[in-house]
Amino acid sequence: MRMRKKRRSAERLSALSSLFCQYITDSYIKCDNVFDKNQPIRLEIGCGKGDFIKELSVNDAGYNYFALEKVADVIVVAAEKYASSRGLGKLSPHGLWTGPDGHIYEDEIWDIPLGMRGNVRFINADAENLDKMFEESSVSDIFANFSDPWTKNGQADRRLTAPRFLETYYKLLKPCGTFRFKTDNVQLFDYSLETVKASKLELGFYTRDLHASEKNEGNIQTEYERNFSAKGIKINYLEAVKKG
């Protein structure tokens, strides 16, 4: 049997576009009318295929979450996994979204009722624009897991723990809000310890072996974390706090 070609991310996104927030230049994302419950906001940067946010948003359901990812083909998988986990349907083998009532969405937007959308929204955008997406002191916690290490000369400024990004996190976080960062990459971790220490954030707990540490309990493993860990690579982790 010949399968139809996997559909493009833009077409797959349209069915679940109610779970996305558009970032429009010069306009903050209005968190008040995005979620049905008014709860503190958390943000994951570079959510990849979304395993972490899917689990965290259930375990810590007293928050509303934004999951940011710059690659459309990747964030569409995250949204589909989340939607399936919340009983909103599934992707058919032909690449079309099938709602819980069996309706197949072909190039059609499903206006999911607000009460069914749950506490996660996805943003297909680059973290470069974060300071324009969220208002100052509006975010309770920021997570960045296994972000790209940018190891070549002259690329350090692109790391999500570069001074300019830490400055943005400081601005967006509420007082006592945290930035939490995990990586397999020792060079990136060493760099991040130094940039955090030099930033306005205060370095809190950190470890070079998260899974052997006191923070392992309740730790949600990301897709990359599981892969690195299976190869025996230790996971580095740090927390930094915006002191009030």
Ligand X SMILES: C[S@@+](CC[C@H](N)C(=O)[O-])C[C@H]1O[C@@H](n2cnc3c(N)ncnc32)[C@H](O)[C@@H]1O
Asked if 147 touches ligand X (CB under 6 A), the answer is: yes
CA distance 63 to 143: 13
Burial-class residue 231 by CB neighbours within 10 Å (0-12, 13-18, 19+): exposed
Asked if 89 touches ligand X (CB under 6 A), the answer is: no
In the beta sheet, which residues pair with residue 241? 178, 202
CB of 123 to ligand X, least distance (A): 9
Task: Dig out the tokens for 127 from the structure.
Answer: 């973290």
Task: Dig out the tokens for 97 from the structure.
Answer: 């979204």
> Segment contacting ligand X (CB under 6 A): 8-16, 33-41, 44-52, 108-116?
44-52
Task: Dig out the tokens for 119 from the structure.
Answer: 């506490």
Among 13, 16, 68, 196, binds ligand X (CB under 6 A): 68
CB–CB of 159/149 below 8 Å? Answer: yes
Among 46, 89, 118, 177, binds ligand X (CB under 6 A): 46
1 CA to centre of own chain: 37
Asked if 48 touches ligand X (CB under 6 A), the answer is: yes
Among 223, 229, 234, 241, binds ligand X (CB under 6 A): 223
Active site residue 141: no
Among 65, 66, 146, 170, binds ligand X (CB under 6 A): 146
Asked if 177 touches ligand X (CB under 6 A), the answer is: no
Catalytic residue among 148, 157, 190, 209: 148
Pairing assessment for the beta strands 139-145 and 120-124 based on DSSP bridges: unpaired
CB of 142 to ligand X, least distance (A): 12
Among 13, 76, 91, 127, binds ligand X (CB under 6 A): 127
One-letter amino acid for residue 96 of the chain: L
Asked if 72 touches ligand X (CB under 6 A), the answer is: no
Handedness of CA 86, 41, 179, 132 (dihedral sign): positive
Give whichever of 222 and 236 is closer to ligand X, judged by the CB atom.
222
> Segment contacting ligand X (CB under 6 A): 28-36, 104-112, 121-129, 210-218?
121-129
Tokens 């099938």: give the residue.
Answer: 98
CA distances from 5 to 8, 80, 93, 147, 196 (A): 9, 18, 10, 31, 46
CB of 125 to ligand X, least distance (A): 7
CA distance 88 to 101: 9
Among 36, 60, 126, 131, binds ligand X (CB under 6 A): 126
Binding site for ligand X (CB under 6 A): 45-48, 68-71, 74, 126-128, 145-148, 222-225
Catalytic residue positions?
Answer: 148
